[in-house]
Structure 1
Amino acid sequence: MNTGQIVTFYSYKGGVGRSFALANTAVVLARWGYRVLCVDWDLEAPGLSYYFDKHLAEPPRAGLLEMIEEARTTPETAQATALRHRTSVRLPEGARLDLIAAGRKGDDSYISRLQQVDWEALYEEYDFGATLETWREEWMREYDLVLVDSRTGITDSGGICTAQVPDVLVFAYTANDQNVDGVLEIVDRAMKARDGLPYDRPRLLTVPLLSRFDAQPEYKEGERWRRELARRMEPRLRDWAPRGSSPGELLQRVTIPYFPVWSFGELLPALSESPRNAEQVTYSIASLAALLARRLEDVGLLIENRDSYVEGAEQAARRDFEVDVFISHSVAQYRLARQLQQLFLENGVTSWVAGENPEHRAEFVDRCRHLVMIVDEGGEDPTQNHDTSLFLRRSVNAATERLTLPVVTSSAAIRQLPRLAQSLQAFNLEDGTLSQAARAIAARLRQESRSLRPHSSRGGGYDVYLSYAHADENWTLALAENLKRLGLTVFVDAWEVQAGDHWPSRLDAGLRGADTVVAVVSTAWSRSEYTMHEFELAAQRRGRQQLIPVLVGDVVPPPHVAERDFIDFRDAMTPREYLGRVQALARRILHLRGEEPLPPSGSVVLPDSMF
């Protein structure tokens, strides 16, 4: 990850396992290799550090309360305290995470000092909002995930944690009406407060976490509650749920069942249990950890194949591979594999040969970025099949592109490719030499590295974002193509959003990263909640983003559109008239004055409505 994300864990009432879920999620993520910071913002009832007491490098000498006091007494330097009071948590097997405790451990003055904190005065007199923004930026630079433990109930500090601080709000609740009613009310308040913040924020994503749920003794009653909770939580799942999925399917993946053994004390089962054993609580914790690590994306895979989804999140934590290529081969082809290894080295590609470390194949597969498999006509090799299966499973939706590249010794050997690799293009040694194969694979790897560049030379930004209703897709795509032919970079979802993408996040990033938002205003556009939301967001960014409505069809523009300087395509009945409107729009986008010429363009694409 280039930029971390902040996740607040909130509960309306205590005793629902919120801190337990946060602490164990942090441990799972840290053991996978993510950089994790935990922040105990439950200042009135701090307890997060109890989970880590046995693993602290030293007792916390200061924490969040001291940071807040510094923001009040020395506001001019408070912004530099974002990480000054963190404490290291050393976990088994070399894993580690960092903790900002609520305050100094064992301090008798803690309660009286906490009572002196006036949140309203902090914001109004000491500009604490700006200080907190600086803390957020520093936390996200240093960590992949920042997990914040929020105060329960309705409090000022809890409001800060649920609205200003997070990118994602995980709210824990149990199966009773007071928990559900209370937590949903707070989440709704947080969403509204978020919209009113004077800071540039994407829409707050929310994850309902059904905790300590035990349907075993009363199965029928448990199923009734599942159905009711799925219905009530559906609006909070909608922003990241894959199309066609049911709320019940997602709710099942964000449920932590009740295990009596873990209800005593502050314990970390994530240190002793397997994340792949469905009979243990860490199985559910790992599902939540993977969902957060993957930023609530590719959720369809979580529903269809939970283990692959979790393995992909674990693999994505790896930032650097030690070696370019793992060469998988049968026993008979060990010598050929060694020759290929030498040829790779001559072409600047590092590699490991499977036969050199037969007892550690799985470990070495994980440490190599790509897989090259040498297959002959001698029939399927079970060990090689295992290499391929493991590599492909670990590579599913991984953050880093990983390639599987077969090399076959003959045409007959193509039929012996492992089933998972039969759809891949193979290099046939009947058509070229091993040296040519090595050069071709090296060239492919270099090409793949170049393909990872962002869409835009401006680091992912766009000249134009097109906001439109689905009914106007054909018309909008024609406009997008014409603007593109004038040299403009255009974000239109049909081009930019790919299968498996988290489409609300992609749309939001495109909208906020564009210099100009063009709203294709039609009757269908006026009826769409989403396009109206996009229009409002762009309107709020006046001075930072240009907003240009274009009118199409027989629409009567709503007042908030009619008051703006729009481009009217409604009476463009001929190609010449249509081209004139496109050019007028392009001049507005490019801020061209007077007779400044437009960039040269090729032929014009006409929308279907003109035929």
Structure 2
Amino acid sequence: MEGKIVTFYSYKGGVGRSMALANIAVLMKRWGYNVLILDWDLEAPGLENFFKDYISLEEFQQKEGIVDLLLKYTENSPIDWHDIVQNIPFESNQKGRLDMITAGLRHEEYFANVRKFDFNSFYTEHEGGAYIETLREQWKSNYDFVLVDSRTGVTDIGGVCTVQLPDIVVLLFTATEQSLQGILRVGKKINASLKKLPVERYHISILPIPSRFENLTEFKIGQEWLERFSKDLLPLVEDWLPEEYGTPIRFKALIEFFKIPYIPYFSFGEKLPVIEQGTNDTTGIGYAYENLSLLLANDLQDTELLFTNRDILFTKVNKIRNNIYKTVQYDVFIARKSQDAHLAKNLYDFLTNKGLKVFDADHSLPEMGNVDYSRAIDEALVNTEHLIVMGSSVENITSPWVEAEWRFFLNRKRSGQAKGNLLTVVTNTLKIDELPPSLQNYEVFSMNIRNFDTIYLFVSPQLSDYLRKNQIFLSDREKELLKLISHGLTSNEIATEMNLSKYTIEEYRMMLMKKFKAKNSTHLVKLAYEHEVL
């Protein structure tokens, strides 16, 4: 899988940008990822100081780095980036790798070389855009994560780091007007600047992070700033923020998990609190870095699991923990509350008798023997093809653990990580319109043995392929959307008509295009008439 490039940027200095990057790099390496750190803060080099307990600073600073790589390229004497990579032997007996390319060879001419390098001529006279693109592709193919420490302010270097290189930009800022307004301006410019690139780049996700935030002694003032952040920053995150957090009030709750607290002890020197303090203290800076690492390693998906079940996020992103158990692939995962075990038994027996590998807690966990049940459930959830939600009441279906399971699968399905079906099976006393809207959009069946054969169609490896090829099933909401598309309405107009966000409409539109294998909206409507669903 192709790696991700994440740029850490701040409009003003002193916000803890480099410290956040260094600590997140350590956590990602601990989780078994191969990580490359790029010190692109050329006018204030020294990111290697955070790792002084593991390396020889003198040796690191006497090797060429970013400025030498760029300068020698313009002088027609290019160097191979592989030759300037330096390894940080942190926990080298464990899986994963932590490498760095420093800002550059720290000799007496270093700053003269920085001033000498001209980004304008680099791009216009030396095809620098194509060269940066080549580096980008090679770094992404060699590492799981490339973490870029960008210079502060609005600069040419900042433009390379925040526009051409990254897939994600982390914008760190403090609770000051200058810092907040600065990252708001930069955030709005990032995706607008993509059109100017020499290559096609469609979108960059933005993650704004309040840093050095102190609201323990000044709680009221802190809450006022958090409310301000939640309103002003919301437009920057709408592309990846879960729909249920798309209001300032809900987004504020999420920012509480993102913010990096101010801890005076860690403001002196270059420190790694994830090692020195650990990550278990929920009020500590290490815990905040761990939350950010979980989000970035999970590509900003399943954000709500920070609230409901962090263990599932760990299972997804932690390569080492993913290798603890022998991976078992399941055809079906049954998500239900313990009170509904009797409902699940008949369906479990039916599907297993058909030869399917089904995960149901009461049947599957005892077969595993002496294992961590919570982690085993998380593993099964990651490695299932289809998911069936079962319940006798809305309360059971929306209970914290059950909802965390089906929302996790739903988000994987929306992001393309899960290809299977999401089904809901309920008792006759529960009406479909009482279900959460997210479940109503997919197939819902009453708990009746006569429906078991139809359910099997959706989860059988052979028959579900046939079903997808020959029959198209639409939810009521998909039918409504399809009808509005056929009337020629735009996504914005449909969003208003259906009282949904534009992003949700675009998501449904993409799902319909995939179901019908349509080339465009006109083709979609034509196929819908041919299949007699319009």
- Report the CA distance shift for 1:88/1:189 in structure 2 as closer, same or farther (over 3 A): same
What corresponds to 1:28 in structure 2? 27
Is 2:357 the counterpart of 1:391? Answer: no
The one of 61, 64, 67 aligned to 1:62: 64
Looking at structure 2, the residues matched to 87 and 269 of structure 1 have their Cα atoms a distance apart, in angstroms, of 23
1:8–1:147 contact (8 Å) kept in structure 2: yes
- Report the CA distance shift for 1:520/1:168 in structure 2 as closer, same or farther (over 3 A): farther
What corresponds to 1:175 in structure 2? 175
Is 2:234 the counterpart of 1:247? Answer: no
What corresponds to 1:302 in structure 2? 306
What letter matches 1:527 in structure 2? Answer: E
Looking at structure 1, the residues matched to 381 and 211 of structure 2 have their Cα atoms a distance apart, in angstroms, of 28
* Post-superposition CA distance 1:208-259 (Å, at most 9, x none): 1110100011111111111111111111221111121211122112111011
1:172–1:211 contact (8 Å) kept in structure 2: yes
What corresponds to 1:84 in structure 2? 83
What corresponds to 2:531 in structure 1? 605
- Report the CA distance shift for 1:252/1:151 in structure 2 as closer, same or farther (over 3 A): same
What letter matches 1:274 in structure 2? Answer: G
Looking at structure 2, the residues matched to 294 and 229 of structure 1 have their Cα atoms a distance apart, in angstroms, of 23
For residues 54-453 of structure 1, what are the structure 2 equivalents within 5 Å?
Answer: 54-56=53-55, 58-60=59-61, 61-74=63-76, 81-92=80-91, 94-95=93-94, 96-104=97-105, 106-245=106-245, 246-305=250-309, 307-316=310-319, 320=323, 323=326, 373-374=366-367, 384=370, 387-393=372-378, 395=379, 398=382
2:365–2:373 contact (8 Å) kept in structure 1: no
What corresponds to 1:593 in structure 2? none
What letter matches 1:297 in structure 2? Answer: Q
Residue 42 of structure 2 aligns to a residue in which SS?
Answer: coil
For residues 501-540 of structure 1, what are the structure 2 equivalents within 5 Å?
Answer: 522-525=488-491, 527=493
Looking at structure 2, the residues matched to 267 and 261 of structure 1 have their Cα atoms a distance apart, in angstroms, of 10
Residue 126 of structure 1 aligns to a residue in which SS?
Answer: coil
* Post-superposition CA distance 1:459-504 (Å, at most 9, x none): xxxxxxxxxxxxxx99xxxxxxxxx999989999989x9xxxxxxx
In the TM superposition, residue 313 of structure 1 has moved relative to its aligned partner by: 4.4
- Report the CA distance shift for 1:300/1:110 in structure 2 as closer, same or farther (over 3 A): same
Looking at structure 2, the residues matched to 63 and 205 of structure 1 have their Cα atoms a distance apart, in angstroms, of 27
Residue 244 of structure 1 aligns to a residue in which SS?
Answer: helix
1:82–1:139 contact (8 Å) kept in structure 2: no
What letter matches 1:98 in structure 2? Answer: D
Q: Going by fraction, where is helix more abundant, 1 or 2?
A: 2
Looking at structure 2, the residues matched to 186 and 490 of structure 1 have their Cα atoms a distance apart, in angstroms, of 47
- Report the CA distance shift for 1:491/1:180 in structure 2 as closer, same or farther (over 3 A): farther
- Report the CA distance shift for 1:604/1:491 in structure 2 as closer, same or farther (over 3 A): closer
Unaligned runs of 5+ in 1: 326-370, 376-382, 404-419, 425-451, 456-472, 475-483, 498-518, 539-545, 551-566, 570-580, 584-602
- Report the CA distance shift for 1:193/1:55 in structure 2 as closer, same or farther (over 3 A): same
1:83–1:139 contact (8 Å) kept in structure 2: no
Looking at structure 2, the residues matched to 277 and 286 of structure 1 have their Cα atoms a distance apart, in angstroms, of 11
* Post-superposition CA distance 1:405-425 (Å, at most 9, x none): xxxxxxxxxxxxxxx99xx9x
In the TM superposition, residue 97 of structure 1 has moved relative to its aligned partner by: 0.3
2:5–2:147 contact (8 Å) kept in structure 1: yes
Unaligned runs of 5+ in 2: 329-363, 387-400, 406-416, 421-440, 443-464, 479-484, 496-501, 511-517
1:294–1:313 contact (8 Å) kept in structure 2: yes
Residue 260 of structure 2 aligns to a residue in which SS?
Answer: strand
Looking at structure 1, the residues matched to 23 and 153 of structure 2 have their Cα atoms a distance apart, in angstroms, of 22
What letter matches 1:26 in structure 2? Answer: A
What letter matches 1:12 in structure 2? Answer: Y
In the TM superposition, residue 274 of structure 1 has moved relative to its aligned partner by: 2.6
Pairwise CA RMSD: 4.0
What letter matches 1:311 in structure 2? Answer: F
Looking at both structures, which has the greater relative contact order when contacts are Cα pairs under 8 Å and sequence separation is at least 6? 2
- Report the CA distance shift for 1:323/1:159 in structure 2 as closer, same or farther (over 3 A): same
In the TM superposition, residue 31 of structure 1 has moved relative to its aligned partner by: 1.0
2:15–2:212 contact (8 Å) kept in structure 1: yes
Residue 92 of structure 1 aligns to a residue in which SS?
Answer: coil
In the TM superposition, residue 314 of structure 1 has moved relative to its aligned partner by: 4.8
Residue 13 of structure 2 aligns to a residue in which SS?
Answer: coil
What corresponds to 2:346 in structure 1? none
Looking at structure 2, the residues matched to 489 and 263 of structure 1 have their Cα atoms a distance apart, in angstroms, of 63
What letter matches 1:5 in structure 2? Answer: K
Q: Return the TM-score normalized by structure 1.
A: 0.58
What letter matches 2:269 in structure 1? Answer: G
* Post-superposition CA distance 1:167-191 (Å, at most 9, x none): 0000000111110001110111112
Looking at structure 2, the residues matched to 267 and 493 of structure 1 have their Cα atoms a distance apart, in angstroms, of 54
1:6–1:165 contact (8 Å) kept in structure 2: yes
What letter matches 1:6 in structure 2? Answer: I
1:24–1:285 contact (8 Å) kept in structure 2: yes
In the TM superposition, residue 387 of structure 1 has moved relative to its aligned partner by: 2.6
- Report the CA distance shift for 1:493/1:274 in structure 2 as closer, same or farther (over 3 A): farther
Q: Return the TM-score normalized by structure 2.
A: 0.66
* Post-superposition CA distance 1:304-336 (Å, at most 9, x none): 23x3255224534557567467xxxxxxxxxxx
Residue 257 of structure 1 aligns to a residue in which SS?
Answer: coil
What letter matches 2:33 in structure 1? Answer: Y
- Report the CA distance shift for 1:548/1:283 in structure 2 as closer, same or farther (over 3 A): closer
Count of residue correspondences = 399
What letter matches 1:97 in structure 2? Answer: L
In the TM superposition, residue 524 of structure 1 has moved relative to its aligned partner by: 4.1
What letter matches 2:301 in structure 1? Answer: E
- Report the CA distance shift for 1:14/1:22 in structure 2 as closer, same or farther (over 3 A): same
- Report the CA distance shift for 1:387/1:582 in structure 2 as closer, same or farther (over 3 A): closer
* Post-superposition CA distance 1:416-456 (Å, at most 9, x none): xxxx99xx9xxxxxxxxxxxxxxxxxxxxxxxxxxx9979x
Residue 207 of structure 1 aligns to a residue in which SS?
Answer: strand
What letter matches 2:60 in structure 1? Answer: P
Residue 299 of structure 1 aligns to a residue in which SS?
Answer: coil
- Report the CA distance shift for 1:487/1:264 in structure 2 as closer, same or farther (over 3 A): closer
What corresponds to 2:428 in structure 1? none
Residue 258 of structure 1 aligns to a residue in which SS?
Answer: coil
- Report the CA distance shift for 1:548/1:190 in structure 2 as closer, same or farther (over 3 A): same
- Report the CA distance shift for 1:606/1:293 in structure 2 as closer, same or farther (over 3 A): same
